[in-house]
Amino acid sequence: MQARIWGARGSYPVARADVMAFGGNTSAVEIRVGETTILLDAGTGLRGIGQELCGDAGRNLGRLHLFISHTHWDHITGLPFFVPLRDARTRLQIYGLRRARISLRQTLAEAMSDPLLPFNLSGVQAELRFHELEDSAEIDVDGVATVRAVRVNHPYRALGYRVESEGGTLAYVPDTGPFHTVLFGDDYVAWDGKACGLAEQRQLALMRAGLLRLVAGADWLIYDTQFTDEEYRARPHWGHSTPAQALEIAGEARARQLLLFHHDPHRTDAQVVALLEQHRPLAALYGVGIEAACEGMALTKRAAA
Amino acid sequence: MIVRFWGVRGATAVPTATHLRYGGNTCCVAVTGADGELIVLDAGTGFCQLSDALLAGPFGRGEGQLTVLLSQTHWDHLLGFPFAAIVHRPGNRLVVYGPGHADRHIEQIYGMMLAPEYSPFFELSNMGATHEFHEPGPTPFAVGALTITARPIPCAEGYSWGYRVSSGRAAVAYISDARYPGCRPTPEALELACGADLLIHGASTTLAEQQGEQEPCSVEEALALALAADARRLMLSHHAPERSDEAIDALLAYYRARLAEQKHCLTLDAAAEDLVLVL
């Protein structure tokens, strides 16, 4: 298993000189296991993955699997610019959360068709198959990897994934709030300054327990750390976490390395480095390695020590 | 009138070092009038960068007002909108002009973008700032001392809206996407660009690169309009994501040489982020 980060920015892509070290593309991670390619989210970073896939004759376009955490813009805007869609050799399986209101296929198709884009998802040369997932779904990927999904705490719900293969285990939780103040569901949460009630606290505790099982013993944990502590206090209803909250999950679940992810669009490279350094002592207390995800970062087993 | 470019990239944002000199954020141009009137042409990801800069002034106190003119509702013209900090600050007021589609008004299209499937904001009423939506029409309208004219411009997917912002002393025309069959600009495009001090025009392709009618606008089409309308300066914009800084430099050099050969006095440039022009 070989993983690579192609987009680590949250909310929207940012093209600015002061963010180039960690990168301005939104969420996209590539994992290669043998001939199979597993893609986590379709943010703007997906465009680069597509170019590389089609530029390398050795890659098998028939075994592509895209797991979408949720369909907020920053997790899907790379899809129409993913060139393997225009290649008849491509067989792409797309996985995402099942919703009562609208199918996964239609959610994606409507996002990129008139009047928002002239892109016809049904007209692409690639063969697409859509798979709608329930909380705790488990998928066998080409017999070489297992992917598990659990619900995490984000507006309108989102999924976190665990990808497990012979070469290692990677947990991916790009968007989630912590599990003590606000319970997100299908309705909009307006922040009134009060933590949620006991029934919601119980649901949050269950969700957190599910997340801990997902992350348990992972070699790498890619986790939403969009907020600083101060930003979290101002906007607990936005559904994002802080590095300290991520470390709590990583430590409790005994993940080996935490990768800060979904960097706020305003966060400069220098600020990401400062956040990272600030949290090294806490990471050491938890016994967890800590780094910040950056574009081009390769994850191999050795780096996880 | 001051013109500042905040996003010059078409199709998709390109946060790549080799593209940063011209810029990787999608479409957004700010025009400020002598009395501080603020007009924003398109709201791609460049709008988020503009918004951060605006927070230092009245918009930071919830006392700002601006007019947004959308040329079309594709992602690269609209997706910066819901994430910009100023739209989440109560008290700010945004007046938005943009095209509807089929039976959907521009406000409904914007609402679609905010739906819970796609954004954490769910609906317009959660956005903080006040929004007022209009579809562009044939009658020019005033924003402070600036006059705005909107005209439909044919493009690959039907039509986009082009705009002319005029202070009486200076005029800037903005056409992000257009297709002029046989490089013959339409009367509406000519009207907008007529004698303009600055014509900002989409030019994602060249005629040689265009492969059929679904392709975006070419440099040749932009040049044809600038020359026919006797514009003083043409600023190519809406750069294709594939075009690196070096590729844009080369493209500019080629077309500047052709203009010089033909002894045209049009000034040709390529739009770049952070470029500020005083007209």
Q: What angle do CA A301, A75, A174 make, to 5 degrees?
A: 45
A206-227 mean pLDDT: 98
Model pLDDT for residues A5-56, shown as the tens digit of each residue: 999 999 999 999 999 999 999 999 999 999 999 999 999 999 999 999 999 9
Work out the minimum CA distance from B19 to partner chain A, whole angstroms.
9
What integer pLDDT is reported at residue A303 of this predicted model?
Answer: 42
Q: Where are the alpha helices (DSSP H) in B24-66?
A: 46-54
Between strands A91-97 and A127-133, the pairing is: parallel
Please write the tens of the pLDDT for every residue from A59-100. Answer: 999 999 999 999 999 999 999 999 999 999 999 999 999 999
Q: Which distant-in-sequence residues (6+ apart) come within 8 Å of B33 by Cβ?
A: B1, B39, B143, B144, B145, B146, B167
A15 to B78: CB separation less than 8 angstroms, yes or no: no
B114 touches chain A (CB under 8 A): no
Instruction: Judge: B119–A73 Cβ closer than 8 Å, yes or no.
Output: yes
State residue B13's pLDDT score. 98
**CB within 8 Å: A47 and B241:** yes
Q: So what's the ipTM on this one?
A: 0.96
Is A155's CB within 8 Å of B122's CB?
yes
Which of A238-242, B36-40, B215-219 shows the lowest per-residue confidence on average (mean pLDDT)?
Answer: B215-219
Q: Average of pLDDT values for A113-118?
A: 94
Count chain A–chain B contacts defined by CB atoms under 8 A: 120
Judged by CB atoms closer than 8 Å, whether chains meet at A44 and B11 is answered as no
**CATH code for the structural domain at A2-300:** 3.60.15.10
Give the tens place of pLDDT for each residue, A154-202: 999 999 999 999 889 999 999 999 999 999 999 999 888 888 999 999 9
Predicted pLDDT of residue A301 = 76
Q: Verify whether the Cβ–Cβ distance B123 to A188 is below 8 Å.
A: yes
Mark yes or no for CB contact A81/B23 under 8 Å: no
Per residue in A96-108, pLDDT (tens digit) is 999 999 999 999 9
pLDDT in tens, B134-149: 999 999 999 999 999 9
What long-range pairs does B99-103 form, CB within 8 A, spacing at least 24? B99/A115, B99/B70, B99/B72, B99/B73, B99/B135, B99/B136, B99/B159, B99/B160, B99/B161, B100/A115, B100/B135, B101/A114, B101/A115, B101/B73, B102/A114, B102/A115
Local structure of residue A263 (DSSP, 8 states): B
Q: A44 — contact with chain B (CB < 8 Å)?
A: yes
B11 touches A at CB < 8 Å: yes
Order of strands across the sheet that contains A298-299: A127-133, A91-97, A64-67, A36-40, A28-33, A2-7, A298-299
Rounded to the nearest 5 percent, the helix, strand and coil shares of chain A are 30, 25, 45
Grade residue A305 by pLDDT with cuts at 50, 70 and 90. Answer: very low
Average pLDDT, chain A: 96
Q: Looking at the complex, does the CB of residue A116 fall below 8 Å from at least one CB of chain B?
A: yes
CA pair distance B8, B45, nearest whole angstrom: 10
pLDDT at B180 over 50: yes
CB-closest option in A23, A154, A155 to B15: A23
Give A-chain residues touching B80 at CB under 8 angstroms: 12
The set of residues, in sequence order, having a beta carbon less than 8 Å from that of B219 and lying 6+ positions away, is B203, B205, B206, B207, B236, B251, B255
Contact B14 A15 (CB under 8 A): yes
Looking at residue A302, its pLDDT comes to 56
Amino acid at B198: L
**Does B274 or B191 have the greater pLDDT score?**
B191
- pLDDT for the residue B16: 97
Tell me, yes or no, if A9 comes closer than 8 A to chain B by beta carbon: yes
pLDDT at position B256 is 98
Mean pLDDT along residues B72-98: 96
Contacts of B243 in chain A (CB under 8 A): none
Average pLDDT over residues B168-181: 95
Closest to A212 in 3D by CA, of A270, A255, A245: A255
Higher pLDDT, A288 or B211: A288
Are residues B119 and A72, on separate chains, in Cβ contact within 8 Å? Answer: yes
pLDDT tens column, B92-110: 999 999 999 988 999 999 9
Which residues in chain B have Cβ-Cβ distances shorter than 8 Å to A111? Answer: 117-118
Q: What mean pLDDT do residues A274-284 have?
A: 98
Average pLDDT, chain B: 96
Cis peptide before A115 (omega within 30 of 0): yes
pLDDT band for B78, please (50, 70, 90 cuts).
very high
A188-195 long-range Cβ contacts below 8 angstroms, 24+ apart: A188/A155, A188/B116, A188/B121, A188/B122, A188/B123, A188/B126, A189/A155, A189/A237, A190/A237, A190/B126, A191/A235, A191/A236, A191/A237
Residue with tokens 């997340």: A211
How far A32 CA lies from chain B's nearest CA (Å)?
A: 24
Q: What is the pLDDT of residue B157?
A: 79
Contact A12 B123 (CB under 8 A): no
Output the pLDDT for position A304: 42
